[in-house]
Chains A and B, each alone.
Chain A
Amino acid sequence: DIHMTQSPSSLSASVGDRVTITCQANQDISTNLNWYQQKPGKPPKLLISDASNLERGVPPRFTGSGSGTDFIFAITSLQPEDIATYYCQLYETLPPRFTFGPGTKVGIK
């Protein structure tokens, strides 16, 4: 089985700061990794697919990079509306299986 670790579990930063979250897989998953944002009481929202593809309508301050086993999600300039929990999600295709990371809760200082 492929396992994901995600760090940190929580962080607090100032408005305008650059924030980074990492996800690491225990084996090569190419770029089969997506990133989601979940605000309290709301369903998650897909932000980035295939490690680095920004979804339509998502602000460009959200970025993703990486391939293989190591992936980085960044908010280049943190805004108050970015307060949320962020999840990475890997996908396998044979057979289909989808695994979320444990999440990173992002807050404002």
Chain B
Amino acid sequence: QVQLVESGGGVVQPGRSLRLSCETSGFIFSDFGVHWVRHTPGKGLEWVAVTWYDGKNEYYADSVKGRFSVSRDNSKNTLFLQMDSLRAEDTATYYCVRGTGYAFAYFDFWGQGTLVTVSS
């Protein structure tokens, strides 16, 4: 069965960095785009970034552009999110999500999420 398992969350001070990982199984990782989506109780869901199936294209939400970087290792079926210059408003649960369909726009399988708290 399809599985996505995030790790790397925790408490970090503003301005510092954090790297999230997402290990996947149960599907051909290199055939799919994979996204990061975050959730906060107050603001709801926010799409963060996507990497194309071959890792050659990446796209970001304006709120994280220039600070976050998404990458993938297709040999290890793993997705990454490098988060730099973290801000309090980046506090959220971060989900790794498989995208399918045109432009990988259907978010059909989600991990359980990893909590990132940005606080001094």
Known: A96-B50, A97-B59, A98-B35. A46 touches B106 (CB 8 A): yes
In the complex, are the beta carbons of B101 and A100 less than 8 A apart?
no
Within 8 A of A (CB), among B29-85: 35, 39, 44-47, 50, 59, 61
| Interface of B toward A, CB cutoff 8 Å | 35, 39, 44-47, 50, 59, 61, 95, 101-108, 110-113
A102 to B44, CA, bound (A): 6
Contact among A49, A55, A96, A102 with B59 in the assembled complex (CB-CB below 8 Å): A96
Chain A 23-38, CB within 8 Å of chain B: the 1/0 string?
0000000001010101
Interface of B, helix, strand, loop or mixed by DSSP: strand
In the complex, are the beta carbons of A103 and B103 less than 8 A apart?
no
Apart from the given pairs A46-B107, A89-B47, 17 other A-B contacts in the complex at a CB distance below 8 Å? A34-B105, A36-B107, A38-B45, A43-B95, A43-B113, A45-B110, A46-B106, A49-B101, A49-B106, A89-B107, A91-B103, A91-B105, A93-B102, A96-B105, A98-B47, A100-B45, A100-B47
CB-CB nearest in chain B for A46: B108
Contact among A44, A96, A99 with B107 in the assembled complex (CB-CB below 8 Å): A44
Contact among B45, B101, B105, B111 with A87 in the assembled complex (CB-CB below 8 Å): B45
CB-CB nearest in chain B for A48: B106
CB-CB nearest in chain B for A33: B105
- Which residues of chain A are near B110, meaning CB under 8 Å? 43-45
Is A95 on the interface with B (CB-CB < 8 A)?
Answer: yes
CB distance from A43 to the nearest CB of B (A): 4
Give 10 pairs: A residue, B residue, CB < 8 Å, sorted on A. Answer: A36-B107, A38-B39, A43-B112, A87-B45, A89-B45, A89-B47, A93-B102, A93-B103, A97-B61, A100-B46
- Which residues of chain B are near A100, meaning CB under 8 Å? 44-47
CB-CB nearest in chain B for A53: B106
A85 to B50, CA, bound (A): 24
